[in-house]
């Protein structure tokens, strides 16, 4: 019999969601249109034409959802504010939009749930996309104004603030691969978007810090476990260096080391816009952070394709309408592994989370005295509800248990990990997959909008309540 794994005192147990994925009420109280509204209404972009118009109707059911969190022993709730609700045209403030987040915050505090706010989880006001979107430098400044407006309304009650969720997805899925909103497919523009997202983070950090030095500030990045197909093969090792460079180091190095990784800039030589980085940008981007949010789901095993085939491969992908998100590394091959997969087709690689947290602490956050939080981890599976809507989701439960064991192992190896947020509290709008993929520990019946905790929720409530893994 194995001994229960105890987590450190004060470890923060929570769950996470995002505005566009759960709120609905897309036209209520003056909310403006956002890029996901536009993208999801574009034929062929989102599974079955699903949109976030109604989603989980959290906008009207937030009180019920907060009670659910309390019943599940959750100590913290990570949610995002919708920029288009707060600033419908990306610039002027909509009081009614802020009031919703004020009501939500009060409800959380009343039920003893610590609010953890993300300012940007992908729903850029359409008006700002129409003015160029993230490839335009001005949007970074608009983001700092938005951060100030949200802080003005909620700063007295919220301690934890993260600027961006997964800028990698915003930049490379949104502007290079076109698989996320706004659906553009231009490599240099994706790089511009990435830099301006980081700049927006730095500017917002500065605003928030100057308004209140006591806030706990940071950003959430997504990381992948990247391994070479044959560690003895120099081509495969170089492929792993490239994908690790673009997926993992491209964002963390400017944030915590003050510069883009030299080898990655080298890989990007042909596409990197020369006038992109201005004097002072990297000082802003590397402003001190109190915490780093880590989102982790899976990883890839990669192999090098001979360079002479590289351009051919990139052209072929483009001709098929599938340009790659891996700008500058179009010739890397991905080798499926014979391991369990989730319903997303993502490989289950819990050990990668231990390695990642230990590496981040050793190479980046430890030296910077920045705490680590897992701000997302979880899985989609094909749920089968019984007549009462209950789901015995042993697969999701096992996924979470294995990843929590991996977090525990990282802590035992010395990594400073202070909390874990399960993605997601509710089944919700899973971006290009619409409502077809379910990540919730609580089932949502999309006909009745009824919520029913799954077996994984009951299990997770036990973990959160006892601060240990059974
Ligand atoms: C994250 N990838 O998205 C987001 O933060 C959530 O909003 C989302 O629902 C969740 O993970 C599950 O998908 C990702 O292709 C989407 O590597 C795609 C990738 C990674 C994260």
CATH code for the domain of 380:
3.20.20.80
Atom of ligand 1 nearest to the CA of 298: 17
**Coil, helix or strand at residue 138:** helix
Round the average pLDDT of the chain to a whole number and report it: 97
- The answer to whether residue 5 sits within a structural domain is no
pLDDT in tens, 155-194: 999 999 999 999 999 999 999 999 999 999 999 999 999 9
CA 447 to chain CA centroid, nearest Å = 27
- If one counts every other C-beta atom within 10 angstroms of the C-beta of residue 354, the result is 21
Confidence of residue 315 (pLDDT cuts 50, 70, 90): confident
**Overall average pLDDT of the 282-295 stretch:** 98
Backbone phi, psi, residue 453, to 5°: -55, 135
Percentage of the chain with pLDDT > 90? 94
Binding residues: 21, 121, 165, 297, 423, 430-431
Give the three-class secondary structure for 350.
coil
pLDDT at 443 over 70: yes
Which of 297, 400, 424 for mutating ligand 1's site (highest number of atoms within 8 Å of CB)? 297
The residue whose CA is least distant from atom 19 of ligand 1 is 169
Q: Mind giving me the DSSP string for 409-468?
A: HHHHTT--EEEEEEE-SB----GGGGGGS---SEEE-TTT--EEE-HHHHHHHHHHHHTE
Whether 60 shows a pLDDT value over 70: the answer reads yes
Confidence tier at 295 by pLDDT (50, 70, 90): very high
Detail the residues annotated as belonging to a binding site for substrate.
21, 121, 165, 297, 423, 430-431
User: Does the pLDDT at position 197 exceed 70?
Assistant: yes
Mean pLDDT of 262-286: 97
Q: Which residues are catalytic?
A: 166, 376
Buried b (16+ CB within 10 A) or exposed e, 106-118: ebbeebebbbbbb
ipTM exceeds 0.95:
yes
Going from the C-alpha of 296 to that of each of 11, 285, 328, 359, the distances in angstroms are 18, 23, 23, 14
Mean pLDDT computed over 358-372: 97
1 domain residue, yes or no: no
Query: What is the spatial distance between Cα 385 and Cα 445, in angstroms, rounded to a whole number?
Result: 10
Of the given ranges (214-228, 273-287, 299-313), which has the lowest mean pLDDT? 299-313
Residue 461 clears pLDDT 60, i.e. is over it: yes
Residue 339 belongs to domain spanning: 10-469
Q: What is the pLDDT of residue 59?
A: 99
**CA gap 32, 86 in Å, rounded:** 8
Give the pLDDT confidence of 419-437 residue by residue, as tens digits: 999 999 999 999 999 999 9
Would residue 411 count as lying in a domain? yes
Question: Is residue 426 assigned to a domain?
Answer: yes
Distance, in Å, from the CA atom of 454 to the CA atom of 467, rounded to the nearest integer, reads 20
Q: What is the pLDDT of residue 307?
A: 65
From the list 293, 298, 297, 299, the residue with the least C-alpha distance to 420 is 293
Q: What is the pLDDT of residue 317?
A: 72
The verdict on residue 158 lying in a domain is yes
Supply the pTM of this predicted model: 0.97
* Domain count across the chain: 1
Residue for token pair 């990139």: 314
pLDDT band at residue 257 under the 50/70/90 scheme:
very high
The answer, yes or no, to whether residue 208 has pLDDT greater than 70, is yes
Whether 134 is in a domain gets the answer yes
Return the pLDDT at 2.
67
Q: Is 2 part of a structural domain of the chain?
A: no
Asked, for residue 56, whether it belongs to a domain, the answer is yes
Q: What angle do CA 36, 39, 41 make, to 5 degrees?
A: 110
Distance from residue 308's CA to the centre of ligand 1 (Å): 33
Q: 298 CB less than 6 Å from ligand 1?
A: no
CA distance 31 to 52: 13
pLDDT of 407 over the 80 cut: yes
Instruction: Residue 171: name the closest of 142, 150, 140 by CA.
Output: 140
Q: Tell me the mean pLDDT in the region 346-360.
A: 98
Over range 407-417, report the average pLDDT: 98
Q: pLDDT tens, 71-107?
A: 999 999 999 999 999 999 999 999 999 999 999 999 9
Is the pLDDT at 314 greater than 90? The verdict is no
């Amino acid at each position: 019999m194995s001994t229960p794994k105890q987590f450190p005192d004060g470890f923060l147990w929570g769950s996470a969601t995002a505005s566009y994925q759960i709120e609905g009420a897309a036209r209520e109280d003056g909310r403006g249109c956002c890029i996901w509204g536009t993208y999801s209404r574009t034929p062929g972009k989102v599974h079955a034409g699903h949109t976030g118009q109604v989603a989980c109707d959290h906008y009207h059911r937030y009180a019920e959802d907060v009670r659910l969190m309390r019943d599940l022993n959750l100590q913290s709730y990570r949610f995002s504010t919708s920029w288009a609700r707060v600033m419908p045209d990306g610039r002027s403030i909509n009081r009614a939009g802020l009031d919703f987040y004020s009501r939500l915050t009060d409800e959380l505090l009343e039920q003893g749930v610590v609010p953890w706010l993300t300012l940007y989880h992908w729903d850029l006001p359409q008006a700002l996309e129409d003015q160029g979107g993230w490839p335009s430098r001005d949007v970074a400044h608009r983001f700092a104004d938005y951060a100030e407006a949200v802080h003005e309304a909620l700063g007295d009650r919220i301690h934890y603030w993260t600027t961006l969720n997964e800028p990698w997805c915003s930049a490379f899925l949104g502007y290079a691969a076109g698989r996320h909103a706004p659906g553009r497919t231009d490599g240099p523009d994706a790089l511009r978007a990435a830099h301006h997202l980081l700049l927006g983070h730095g500017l917002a950090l500065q605003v928030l810090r100057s308004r209140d030095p006591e806030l706990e500030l940071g950003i959430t990045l997504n990381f992948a476990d990247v391994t070479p197909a044959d560690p003895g093969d120099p081509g495969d090792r170089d492929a792993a260096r490239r994908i690790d460079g673009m997926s993992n180091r491209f964002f963390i190095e400017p944030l915590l080391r003050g510069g883009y990784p030299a080898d990655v800039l080298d890989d990007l030589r042909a596409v990197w816009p020369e006038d992109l980085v201005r004097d002072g940008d990297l000082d802003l981007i590397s402003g001190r952070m109190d915490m780093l949010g880590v989102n982790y789901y899976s990883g890839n095993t990669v192999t090098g394709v001979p360079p002479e085939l590289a351009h051919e491969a990139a052209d072929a992908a483009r001709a098929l309408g599938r340009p790659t998100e891996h700008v500058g590394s179009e010739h890397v091959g991905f080798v499926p592994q014979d391991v369990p997969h989730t319903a997303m087709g993502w490989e289950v690689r819990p050990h990668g989370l231990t390695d990642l947290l230990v590496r981040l602490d050793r190479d980046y956050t430890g030296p910077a005295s920045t705490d680590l939080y897992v701000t997302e981890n979880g899985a989609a599976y094909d749920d089968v509800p019984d007549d009462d809507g209950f789901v015995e989701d042993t697969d999701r439960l096992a996924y979470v248990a294995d990843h929590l064991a991996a977090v525990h192992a990282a802590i035992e190896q010395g990594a400073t990990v202070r909390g874990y947020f399960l993605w997601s509290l509710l089944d919700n709008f899973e971006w290009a997959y619409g409502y077809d993929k379910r990540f919730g520990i609580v089932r949502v019946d999309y006909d009745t909008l009824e919520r029913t905790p799954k077996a994984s929720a009951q299990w997770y409530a036990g973990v959160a309540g006892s601060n240990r893994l059974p």
